[in-house]
A and B are shown apart, each in its own frame.
Chain A
């Protein structure tokens, strides 16, 4: 589904990703962990096509297509979804209207008619329950005045509505209490299927207790320095990231 080859990316002339490689297949859940500043959020932003980032080398192949230079809206229409670490508040745009526009613009991209109102509303109702999102929240301005937990639940709500092939969760667990974490995890788990894939970017192992990954990768200095299964996450939790620094130095010099 997704192949990242020797990806280099920079922002404001500063190189953040320095030869990232990753292979994600349908049905898989990948966790990317790593210390602050290792390039986790950059990876998420670059995959979603944030214009501020420049790809200086390598490639991202998604379903056989090179994503380099593809606009964010087209990536989304092709099936990439980024759950933001800091969802943006947009006063004056209602949640529902926003979702309706997104759903229908993606349909238009695939040459489909707008979704009938009834079907759309049914889907809203169904997916709302998944993340215990109230009607009141859905009707309000996009994320305006939402608590941290409500914003993250809204990200998963949108994910459920748009049904992407590849969902990237950028530190969705940050700022969540245990109840909100459970709701978010439950949402993600019920959306998992053999046809879609998830990349879960996180600082802590905690989220991975609820969403079990197939693979865990450690990102450091803009590249993946270690990959393994979920046991690796436990190991990281226990040892912290400091040991990586010496190990990766060996890795780089080796």
Chain B
């Protein structure tokens, strides 16, 4: 039975891949001149590995197959989500809103864009081909099974390009709505380019709608921050139990650029796997990666980050904090590679966890590979429970135990929330965190 199911899923992807191959042959290549050969390699890579299993080091604690397999049963009437509409647009004021449904951008639902500072377009309609040709498919690593699958199958992606020298005041807010309208599994593809000396804030929020079915979102983002540019990039996951997320992002940092990523996952989605790979390619680049994960019920949230120092004088700073409840599972894998040429690298990594249930599991693994000698690097992982002295102190002042626990969780999360530079996002996060704690 199990074997049969396994075969079914592999068969499914085999067919989907073949179908896309035929479409590509038929329609030629509207998106990218080299897409056909790129897809070919991606297909081969995916076929050679298949859906990852626990025997693969990067997927040891993350049984992804079971979550992907469910898409096969969607047609047999997998229950629809029927609660109030998604809280998708709470950030609408003072943002450029981009609505993306099942990976497809809906321009007529989105804000008009100032074209002299910013280009936002479907990948097949990009006006300046230069940036697209230089970057699309150039950075995502197709050795990663889901980066390969996305590369082989994405249809129309979105490109956001901030034009040289533009300091964008309003954040760009991408609302990713998982609905499963055509297919329960879809392959959003994003290319974000902050050209030289620009400044931009990107907020990506993942939600479902009230008509969503069970979906698997297999997305790939390629992010390029050119010389002297600064990007603030937020991920906010507030999906529900019908939405699975397999997210891969590769970030390229040029000379003197700054990239800050704030990654928030809240209870809801049964399965989130994030691969965030930052490559410091230009000297003097800086990156900060902050994460706040709150898991409950039977959720599994897996963050695999990798910071790649390949040139001298770069700084990376990473802090992920996680509150793990109920029967949920948390995986954190933080890799830092300091290549031989990357002298005078400063790299700091911290992962702090609050384990609040006997049935919850945390797997945390810092991985440092240092091949240069003049570096400052540190890493640490901590695991804790409620401090009974702190609980007694609060309750001895008349604060009920539940409230006291909530205060302590908020206090734990505050360290990450407080560093969020965007006031609007910070306030929003405070509110939704409070709802879930």
Given the known interface contacts A51-B388, A88-B390, A105-B403, the answer about A76 and B396 at a Cβ–Cβ threshold of 8 Å is yes
Alpha-carbon distance A36/B408, docked complex (angstroms): 32
> Do residues A72 and B396 form an inter-chain contact, with CB atoms below 8 A?
yes
Cβ–Cβ < 8 Å partners of A76 in chain B: 395-399
Q: Which of B395-415 contact A (CB under 8 A)?
A: 395-401, 403-404, 407-408, 410-415
Alpha-carbon distance A139/B401, docked complex (angstroms): 23
Residues 44-76 of A, flagged 1 when their CB comes within 8 A of B and 0 if not, give 000011111000000000000000000111011
> Do residues A88 and B393 form an inter-chain contact, with CB atoms below 8 A?
yes
**Residue picked from B395, B400, B418, most chain A C-beta under 10 Å:** B395
Alpha-carbon distance A90/B400, docked complex (angstroms): 17
Alpha-carbon distance A81/B399, docked complex (angstroms): 12
> Do residues A91 and B415 form an inter-chain contact, with CB atoms below 8 A?
yes
**Residue picked from B396, B397, B407, B415, most chain A C-beta under 10 Å:** B397
Closest to B406 in A: A101
Number of interface residues of A (CB under 8 A): 30
A162 within 8 A of B: yes
Interface of B is mostly: helix
How close is A216's CB to chain B, nearest CB, in angstroms? 25
How close is A53's CB to chain B, nearest CB, in angstroms? 11
Q: Which of A87-144 contact B (CB under 8 A)?
A: 87-88, 90-93, 98, 101-103, 105-106, 109, 141
> Do residues B414 and A73 form an inter-chain contact, with CB atoms below 8 A?
no
Alpha-carbon distance A88/B404, docked complex (angstroms): 14
Out of B392, B403, B411, name the residue touching A50 (CB < 8 Å): B392
> Do residues B399 and A92 form an inter-chain contact, with CB atoms below 8 A?
no
A215 within 8 A of B: no
> Do residues A105 and B414 form an inter-chain contact, with CB atoms below 8 A?
no
Cβ–Cβ < 8 Å partners of B392 in chain A: 48, 50-51, 72
Alpha-carbon distance A52/B393, docked complex (angstroms): 13
Alpha-carbon distance A92/B392, docked complex (angstroms): 17
Out of B387, B389, B395, name the residue touching A72 (CB < 8 Å): B395
Cβ–Cβ < 8 Å partners of A49 in chain B: 395-396
Listed in ascending order, the chain B residues whose CB lies under 8 Å from chain A are: 387-390, 392-401, 403-404, 407-408, 410-415, 418
Q: Which 6 A-B pairs have the closest CB atoms?
A: A92-B411, A76-B398, A92-B414, A106-B398, A102-B397, A88-B393
Q: List 9 A-B contacts (CB under 8 A).
A: A51-B388, A76-B395, A76-B396, A87-B393, A92-B410, A92-B412, A98-B407, A102-B399, A103-B398
